[in-house]
Structure 1
Amino acid sequence: MSNVFGSNSIDIPSKESIWQVFQTVKDIPGLNLVEKAWASYYVYMDNDLFATGLLFFLLHEVMYFGRCLPWYIIDRTPYFKKYKIQPNIYPSDKEQWECTKSVLKSHFFVEALPIWFFHPICEKIGVSYDVPFPSWSKIALQVSIFFFLEDAWHYWFHRGIHYGSFYRIIHKQHHRYAAPFGLAAEYAHPIEVMLLGFGTVGIPIVWCYFTRDLHLFTICIWITLRLFQAIDAHSGYEFPISLHHFLLIWAGADHHDEHHHHFIGNYASSFRLWDYFLDTEAGDTAKKTREKHSKTRAELMAQKT
């Protein structure tokens, strides 16, 4: 039987369906509905390695394409054209389908295999998957840390694959679409998928290796939010309620759309800090800001001399 209940001994007889398992688990005190569903799933599967692998594969597929679907509908709805960052460029159905096929190939032939080894790694480094879950405050803190760490990883490696042969061999595929759309978030060369993907999956692993304090449910929340961020950044739409209007350091679609439009600058994934402080912002506004800074520095140097 699964160790989802940790050190507690819970006697759950073999059942015919996951619903019957849930009927037994739901009577266990101290668990909320999500925790009961989580425990029922692991008990029903009765194979933690397979259960975790299937969970993460389905999580990725459902959250990725589920989040892409609204943007596909928005692209086909004339009302939203006024919010399109590049209003005269829309992906055709053929382009959307070609992109979808490429992304699915990546999911099945590049990402699927490592997913099935994720549970043994979790057990080795101490990632917990039992119930109850950590507090929401701990989950929020750890996910916030992952966002900042991933952003740093993404900035430097994304900037790196924009140089010379790295761009031509690896990153050029992702820049096929100068006006990005949601499905294009993971349209990339297999090497890029693994390299930048490590920031999403590898950072929690490294975190747990040193802290021995991480839950698999927290990783699920983190991956879901990271997927939503990546897809929204590629959506090609800027709304008055876009998050960066309220959280000024947030990157958002306008930040990443400039990267695709100009093919350079705005390398970070979630925040604007790295690009701002290292002077790698993209677009006409950023260009004017850099020119202003250069002029100010030149005037100060002239005054000193």
Structure 2
Amino acid sequence: MEENFSAPNKSFLPRILQNAKHVLSLLPMIVTVYLQLFLYTVPLLTVIVLAREWAPTPYYWEQKWGTTLAWIDQNRRLALGFVPSFIAAIMYWLVGAIFLVFDFTGWMSKYKTQPGTNEPLQAPRLTKVVKCVLINQFVVGMSLTLLMHEITRLTSTKEQLDLNKFKELPSISTMLIHLAVFATVREVLNYYTHRLMHHRLFYKNVHKQHHMWSAPIALISIYCHPVEHIIVNAFPAITGPILMKSHPLVLWSWFLLVQPWSMIIHSGYHFPLFPCPEFHDFHHMTSTSNFGNLTIMDAIHGTDKQWKKSESYKRSFTLFGVKPAREIIKRLQ
């Protein structure tokens, strides 16, 4: 029996070409985003370069890493199952404590993206956030990383589990490539999983908790339902390192960087040289646009159109001086 195939849709090819042209038109913006990401990694990379240059002996750090690797080999569950979560948690509370000082004292209020909000910050609301964050970090997060470690151990060959391939320290170029891939994978997955959370099936019972803060603060970065924490926060962040089979030091560097980034874009403060929070801040104000982290996926799908018509969009740039973005825009108008 012959199969009947419908005639090809004549509009399909023009639509593909139109989408390709749209993506190409976004290249300058995409390049700018990755330059901003590079700027964000500069402090960490500088510390690494200086540490290598000022080492007491030529192979000082290689020897130290060899000792650490031997410890990891003997304590895999602890080193690979718990250490990444501990790094993320430590960075979370260090960065969060700094921003809490600003929130309670009002020292940096001129840099606020939504002036007058959370002034003063209400202690009962904050207590609820702290409890939720601790559960997500030390119950949900650590259980997830431990589970992934066990799955990897049970499904990998002896050769795949051999840590000798990580004896050499990763180069700066390798770190940059891997970190760029991690950020890209996270942007794509976070966009679609976050947008899924705005579907009526998930928003009321899962995602609405995070949106109780229309003017966010740094600590609410992972103030969310456990299901959301796994799907929207953890899954996009850990997929890149898994796909790249990255060096443990690159993995730990990623957690050192990604946690503060998420907190900064939730902080409600647009500081000089820091990642600009305007994009995600607008998402909390409206809940109808800006679902990604880096603006790329929203630009591709057109879910940033409302934001691009707003005052927030005009203030969305990296500050290289001490004047707040609002003052700069006011002078230009």
TM superposition score category, shorter chain reference:
0.7 to 0.9
After TM superposition, give the deviation of residue 132 of structure 1 in Å: 2.8
Q: CA shift at 1:38, angstroms?
A: 7.2
> Structure 1 residues 284 and 111 mapped into 2: Cα distance closer, same or farther (>3 Å)?
closer
Deviations, residues 273-292 of structure 1 (Å, cap 9, x unaligned): 2222322116564369xxxx
- 2:237 is aligned with 1:200: yes
Q: Which residue of 1 aligns with 2:265?
A: 233
Whether 1:151 and 2:187 are equivalent positions in the alignment is yes
Q: Which residue of 2 aligns with 1:273?
A: 296
- Relative to structure 1, the CA distance from residue 253 to residue 54 in structure 2 (aligned partners, 3 Å threshold; closer, same or farther) is same
Task: Report what 1:215 is aligned to.
Answer: 247
- Pairing 1:106-145 to 2, within 5 Å after superposition: 106-121=136-151, 124=156, 126=160, 130-145=166-181
Describe the superposition over 1:204-236 as per-residue Cα deviations: whole angstroms up to 9, x where unpaired: 21333xxxxx21111111122111111111000
Distance 1:265 1:46, change over 3 A: same
Contact 1:154 1:268 (8 Å CA) reproduced: yes
The structure-2 alpha-carbon separation of the partners of 1:83 and 1:43, relative to structure 1 and needing over 3 Å to count, comes to same
Unpaired segments ≥5 residues, structure 1: 1-25, 209-213, 244-251, 289-305
Given the superposition, is the C-alpha separation of residues 42 and 27 from structure 1 closer, same or farther in structure 2, using an over 3 Å criterion?
farther
Q: What is aligned with 2:96? A: 68
Counterpart residue identity of residue 191, structure 1: V
Aligned twin of 2:200: 164
Match in the other structure for 1:86: 114
What is the percentage of aligned positions where both structures have the same residue? 25
**CA distance in structure 2 between the aligned counterparts of 1:75 and 1:65, rounded to whole angstroms:** 14
Would you say the 8 A contact 1:174–1:187 is kept in 2?
yes
TM-score by length of 2: 0.67
Offset of 1:261 from its aligned partner? Answer: 0.6
Counterpart in the other structure of 1:299: none
Structure-2 change in CA distance of 1:149 and 1:43 (3 Å):
closer
Unaligned runs of 5+ residues in structure 2 are: 1-54, 312-333
Inter-partner Cα distance in structure 2 for 1:235 and 1:60? 17
RMSD (Å), alpha carbons: 3.0
The reply on whether 1:52 has 2:75 as its aligned counterpart is no
Aligned partners of 2:72, 2:88: CA distance in 1, in Å? 21
Question: Could you tell me how far apart the structure 1 residues matched to 2:257 and 2:81 are?
Answer: 19
Q: Whole-Å Cα distance in 2 between the matches of residues 273 and 97 of structure 1?
A: 34
Q: Which AA in structure 2 matches 1:61? A: A
Structure 1 38/255 Cα, relative in aligned 2: closer, same or farther at 3 Å? Answer: farther
1:274–1:80 CA distance, 2 compared to 1 (3 A)? same
Aligned residues: 250
1:257 alignment partner, one of 277, 281, 286? 281
| Aligned ranges 1:96-115 → 2 under 5 Å | 96-115=126-145
How far apart, in 2, do the equivalents of 1:127 and 1:225 lie?
26
Alpha-carbon shift at residue 28 of structure 1 (Å) = 9.6
Structure 1 residues 102-144: Cα deviation after superposition (integer angstroms, max 9, x where no partner): 1101122211112224444556384775433211110111111
Question: Do the aligned partners of residues 143 and 92 (structure 1) sit closer, same or farther apart at CA in structure 2, a change above 3 Å counting?
Answer: same
Greater alpha carbon shift after TM alignment, 175-184 vs 100-109: 100-109
Between the aligned partners of 1:81 and 1:27, the Cα distance in structure 2 is: 44
Equivalent-residue separation in structure 1 for 2:88 and 2:305 (angstroms) = 30
Q: Residues 121 and 284 of structure 1: is their aligned pair in 2 closer, same or farther, counting only changes over 3 Å?
A: closer
| 1:51 positional shift | 3.0
Q: CA contact under 8 A between 2:215 and 2:281: conserved in structure 1? A: yes
Q: Is the Cα contact below 8 Å between 1:258 and 1:282 reproduced in 2? A: no
* TM-score computed with the length of structure 1 as normaliser: 0.73
Instruction: Give the counterpart letter for 1:110 in structure 2.
Output: V
Q: Identify the residue that residue 12 of structure 1 maps to in structure 2.
A: none
Name the SS of the counterpart of 1:88 in structure 2.
coil
Name 2:214's counterpart in structure 1: 178
Aligned equivalents of 2:66, 2:125: Cα separation in 1: 38
Pair 1:41–1:65, CA change in 2 (3 A): farther
